[in-house]
Structure 1
Amino acid sequence: MTASLEVVETTVTARRPLDVAMTLHPLQRGKGDPCHRRAVDGSIWRTSVQPSGPVTYRLTQSDRHTVHCQAWGEGARELADGLNRLVGEQDECEDFAPEHPILAEAHRRFPHLRLGRTDRVLEALVPAILEQRVHGIAAFASWRRLVWKFGTPAPGPAPDGMRVPPTAHVWRRVPSWEFHRANVDPGRARTIVRCAQVADRLEKIVNLSPEEATRRLMSIPGVGIWTAAEVSQRALGDADALSVGDYHLASMVGWSLLGKPLDDAEMVAYLEPVRPHRYRAVRLLLVSGNAIKPKFGPRTPVVDHSWH
């Protein structure tokens, strides 16, 4: 860390209650994520690469309506300027009125659930690609290794071990053997490099409609509907981005709301009445503790691609 940088401080006063830790939780890639840390005092520390440069930021709440941000680094001012979007202050859910009693009760219990947006596409896209078709534990380990190897030290007084994720320029130049050592198969490695090569164009999708943004993402070979949804949830704050194709999601939705498993097509049809808030409905199931998926089979094995 570099503790001598000037701090940029910003405060957001929200109209409705919010919970920063809950809002930013989907951005964390496992407990050891070097770009995300929750301190013992409850503050959230994160790193990012803004167009203006790297940034470390610390978020705290004095009450349910107030978020204070301290940011360090070349991207500090730019991060602070987008703080209201990041913490979900602009998230609109007044038209969300689920009829299912479990969803309705969860919505009542968690009025502070907000869907934030980072406006940083590649930072959401690379981890999503790493998570394609593999166990989350393996994907998180790959992310940690690659960020440690190719990221940069977090600016400012960041907690020990925090790193800034690699830039598009760096991702484009990661050697194939380094992906291999990080347990990333050639297909996912090629997709990451391919996305990094058009990163400037991809970052502009934050100004498009969710539908057009999804189309642009899926025009890249190796980026399908699941990956596009994972990016839209985080970078665009898209409340309707349903992760179709997820290994567990359809079954979880079915067991939680109907007491039986669903496949992807059945889940899409069942959640149609809550459009354009299908992702919000899923998040409510998760944060409320009502997400259910009985274990009838063996745990998905963690595959090691790095040994051969």
Structure 2
Amino acid sequence: MISEAERTVDLGAPYDLPRSLGVLQRGHADPAVRVDRGVFEGGPRGAPGAGAWLSLRVPSADRGDAGGSSGRAVLRFDQLDVSRVRARVAADSEDASAAALNRAPLVLGAADDWTCLELLLDALGDRVSTALATVRRRHPGVRLPAAGALFDQLINVTLEQKVTHEQARHGWRSLLRRHGDAPAADWAQGAALPVPEWLRMPLTAAQLRAVPSWEWHRLWVQPPLSKTIQQIARRASAVHRLGAETPVETDAVNQLAETLAGIPGVGVWTAAETLQRSHGAADLPAVGDYHLAHFVGEAMTGTRTDDAGMVELLEPYRPHRQRIVRLLKLSGFQHQRMGPKLTSEDHRSR
């Protein structure tokens, strides 16, 4: 039986759906997340006409995903006007439908409040902070989404460890296309929501464990990564318990990052990237990223830096360090490497 439901989420301010949810899409052909940009105006007028598809699994309350028992749900978002987004869901049970619909505001970033950062930028008043405040005023509708599905996000990010974007996108895309469930085929006769044929569900732990070793090689997934994925799959119940709630307090999210980093093969970078997507982590920059420290250093000072230098540059903005990284990426700096550079000032003694 297909269960469907609908609600309208009012973000209470201009909302930029494409730029907010676009960070969840892994490549232009992601089989699990796809953003329709519409006219993509953003800014103070929001982005009416934009939309997005999102597939997610809802673990059963009693067994998690240890035995492969989970509900399947598909969310469709459509931005109606400046601040309102319609969320529709189709799922294979009423429980999965209700859980997905309850998740919808968090996916959109409804719990992500930038007010304190905006006040901090104004209070600091240096050149970097002033420039970042200007970027925020140009993009007031950008939120950090909290998509949930901690297990799925962890698998996705693991595929991105120490490989090129092309390899990571290929691995995720091929894994879902070859081994993921296709809701459109299963629900063709029952769902009013027109689920697209390309959409696939993330794999359960049982499905991941069933993928043979030679198939991982065919998927362009290196042996260390497939080994880590199997480690995570064996710990699926524990991961689902960790993801059962979505804490918004910085300390709680940081503690969760430390717990995830304790899984063999995961590490600090993977934990941060995962929680940025699953929990909308506002203060977890991806330390250990191959490019990020260079980018942050060059954008803020005109000179590349390493991870320690990036952490030092971002320290005055704690507990909003990932929001600062997001603003730097929204600034367009990566397209102006030879242009004027932002200059950082040290506020640690203030």
The reply to whether residue 221 of structure 1 matches residue 264 of structure 2 is yes
Quote the Cα distance in structure 1 between the aligned partners of 2:217 and 2:282: 35
The reply to whether residue 145 of structure 1 matches residue 174 of structure 2 is yes
Quote the Cα distance in structure 2 between the aligned partners of 1:225 and 1:271: 17
Counterpart in 1 of 2:187?
none
Q: Would the aligned equivalents of 1:255 and 1:292 in 2 still touch at CA under 8 Å?
A: no
The reply to whether residue 89 of structure 1 matches residue 97 of structure 2 is no
Counterpart in 2 of 1:62?
80
Give a deviation string over 1:135-173, Cα, whole Å, max 9, x none: 011110011111111110024422221111111221122
Q: Partner of 1:163: helix, strand, or coil? A: coil
The reply to whether residue 28 of structure 1 matches residue 40 of structure 2 is no
Counterpart in 2 of 1:51?
59
Give a deviation string over 1:97-131, Cα, whole Å, max 9, x none: 23423212111211111111112111111111111
Counterpart in 1 of 2:146?
117
Give a deviation string over 1:201-247, Cα, whole Å, max 9, x none: 11233446112211110111111111000011011111011101111
Q: Partner of 1:30: helix, strand, or coil? A: coil
Q: Would the aligned equivalents of 1:48 and 1:165 in 2 still touch at CA under 8 Å?
A: yes
Among all aligned residue pairs of Structure 1 and Structure 2, give the percentage whose two residues are the same amino acid: 36
Q: Would the aligned equivalents of 1:85 and 1:116 in 2 still touch at CA under 8 Å?
A: yes
Relative to structure 1, the CA distance from residue 203 to residue 6 in structure 2 (aligned partners, 3 Å threshold; closer, same or farther) is closer
Quote the Cα distance in structure 1 between the aligned partners of 2:82 and 2:283: 25
Relative to structure 1, the CA distance from residue 238 to residue 188 in structure 2 (aligned partners, 3 Å threshold; closer, same or farther) is same
Q: Partner of 2:131: helix, strand, or coil? A: helix
Quote the Cα distance in structure 2 between the aligned partners of 1:144 and 1:25: 16
Deviates more, 1:47-56 or 1:246-255: 47-56
Relative to structure 1, the CA distance from residue 205 to residue 6 in structure 2 (aligned partners, 3 Å threshold; closer, same or farther) is closer
User: Which of 204, 216, 228 lines up with 1:167 in the alignment?
Assistant: 204
Q: Partner of 1:271: helix, strand, or coil? A: helix
Deviation at 1:289, TM superposition (A): 1.5
Aligned pair count?
A: 292
Give a deviation string over 1:3-47, Cα, whole Å, max 9, x none: x94531111112232222222111111111111223466321121
Quote the Cα distance in structure 2 between the aligned partners of 1:77 and 1:20: 22
* Consecutive unaligned residues in structure 2, runs of 5 or more: 39-48, 61-70, 185-190, 339-350
Q: Partner of 1:7: helix, strand, or coil? A: strand
Counterpart in 2 of 1:270?
313
Q: Would the aligned equivalents of 1:47 and 1:165 in 2 still touch at CA under 8 Å?
A: yes
Counterpart in 2 of 1:202?
239
Counterpart in 2 of 1:211?
254
Deviation at 1:293, TM superposition (A): 8.0
- Aligned-residue CA RMSD (Å): 1.9
- For 2:107, the aligned partner's letter is L
Quote the Cα distance in structure 2 between the aligned partners of 1:189 and 1:160: 27
- For 1:278, the aligned partner's letter is R
- For 1:19, the aligned partner's letter is D
Deviation at 1:84, TM superposition (A): 1.4
- For 1:84, the aligned partner's letter is P
Q: Would the aligned equivalents of 1:256 and 1:292 in 2 still touch at CA under 8 Å?
A: no
Deviates more, 1:249-258 or 1:196-205: 196-205
Matching of residues 265-304 of structure 1 within 5 Å: 265-291=308-334, 294=337
Deviates more, 1:93-102 or 1:122-131: 93-102
* Consecutive unaligned residues in structure 1, runs of 5 or more: 296-308
Q: Partner of 2:333: helix, strand, or coil? A: coil
Quote the Cα distance in structure 1 between the aligned partners of 2:196 and 2:331: 30
